[in-house]
Structure 1
Amino acid sequence: MSTQAKEPKPAAGRATRLTILCRGATAANQQTRFSSDVPLLPKERVRLRERARGLGRFDLVLHAPERSAAETAAAFAPDAASCPALRDADYGRWNGRTIADVAEQSPEDLQRWMSDPSCAPHGGETFEAVQARAAAWLEQRHAKGGHTLAVTHAIVLKLLFLHVVGAPLSSLWRIDVEPLAMLSLTSDGRRWALRSFGAGLPGGATETG
């Protein structure tokens, strides 16, 4: 069972590396549904074991509070810690609904949501708000040292990528992120640099949000 994050003290003189991993695929991915607090698909555990073998060991493993993120992180560390800042976007009253359903019932709201990152017609979080809280967490990690794995959701990973490279939020829909895709960063103590931004393993389903 995961716990709330209790991190070691910063290690002076050690380089800081951060690997941000999109959690594995769920039924909500297949259904293009606004929902993240569901378990991984059974077949995803095979791909996850392969990913864990390829990435090796980490000094610290963190994960978003949702079940799929916790199950993904457990493949790397049984004592992985829950980190609220990595939680999925709050989709308000759209949570649990499919994109097709929202498009049919509220097409204008869906269009506004996709074109304006400061808009939240569903009553939940704006993309601006999600990026702000995730970026605040990221900027506090410069001096942590060691290599940390952080398991989160596609939308959070994309927003952190835009933050690091200084791209506008309007670029959000130009990025596709598959389950188990990774964003690899390093810090010199002052700024984050992009090492790699890659796809997941073969057979993944592209995330819609």
Structure 2
Amino acid sequence: MTSRVTLLSPATSPSLRRALFYDGDALDEAGAARAREAAGVLPAPARVLLSPSARCRGTAAALGLEGVAAAELAGLDVGRWRGRALEEVAAAEPEAMARWLADPGSAPHGGESVEGLCARVARWLEEERDGAGRTLAVVEPEVVRAAVAGALSAPAAAFWRLDVPPLTLTELSGRAGRWNVRLGRPLTPSDADRG
């Protein structure tokens, strides 16, 4: 039996547009409008799971999906960097930022390490692979990155090499102890036309 997991990155929010470490903000109007345009495009899943963030819940609502928040799919906890601009943190704490980007096991912000996030998401994927059916998960971009790294048995350092645009699908199909990955499919046909 094949398990199918579709990961959907959330629509845009102000923190995403301003390159801030996510601070819990909701979708901006443009992001909500794009998600509403795509309502009804997704194949019907057996279940819908959500990162417990406002922008993932808002994306699901705009798409007309009812889902269950799953703590294991929460975004990366960046501790005291939450809500701060990436360039601000890099200027104020250059050694800490460099260490965080170079060592997936470090967490100089006092939150969760990238390695910890990857391990958490890998455990969830293992449970999903042993199940059957189709799961749609509206999750933070870093959860998509961690899932792809885990599905490909890539080292946690690969996390930084993966870009996840808003409102894109990453599809995983699992069986026989492994996953196959289909990356970055646009949610709407009009997105595919933009290239």
Normalized per residue, which structure has more helix? 2
2:22 to 19, 35, 45: 35
Runs of 4+ residues deviating >6 angstroms: none
Aligned partners of 1:72 and 1:132: how far apart in 2?
25
Matches within 5 A, 1:51-200: 51-188=38-175, 190-194=177-181, 196-198=182-184, 200=186
Aligned partners of 2:16 and 2:137: how far apart in 1?
20
Q: Is the 8 A contact 2:168 2:185 kept in 1?
A: yes
Q: Could you report, residue by residue, the CA deviation over 1:153-208 in whole angstroms, capped at 9, with x for unpaired residues?
A: 111111110111122222222221111122101122532222x10154649xxxxx
Aligned partners of 1:84 and 1:189: how far apart in 2?
27
Matches within 5 A, 1:6-45: 15-45=2-32
Partner SS, residue 144 of structure 1: coil
Q: What TM-score does the superposition give when structure 2 sets the normalisation length?
A: 0.89
Q: Is the 8 A contact 2:22 2:83 kept in 1?
A: yes
Q: What TM-score does the superposition give when structure 1 sets the normalisation length?
A: 0.83
Quickly say closer, same or farther: Cα 1:100–1:86, change in 2 above 3 A: same
RMSD: 1.9
Q: Is the 8 A contact 1:186 1:193 kept in 2?
A: yes
Aligned partners of 2:5 and 2:27: how far apart in 1?
23
Aligned partners of 1:162 and 1:187: how far apart in 2?
14
Shift in Å, 1:62: 0.6
Q: Is the 8 A contact 1:61 1:76 kept in 2?
A: no
Q: Is the 8 A contact 2:50 2:68 kept in 1?
A: yes
Q: Identical aligned pairs, as a percentage? A: 34
Gaps of 5+ in 1: 1-13, 204-209
Shift in Å, 1:26: 0.6
Structure 2 letter corresponding to 1:130: L
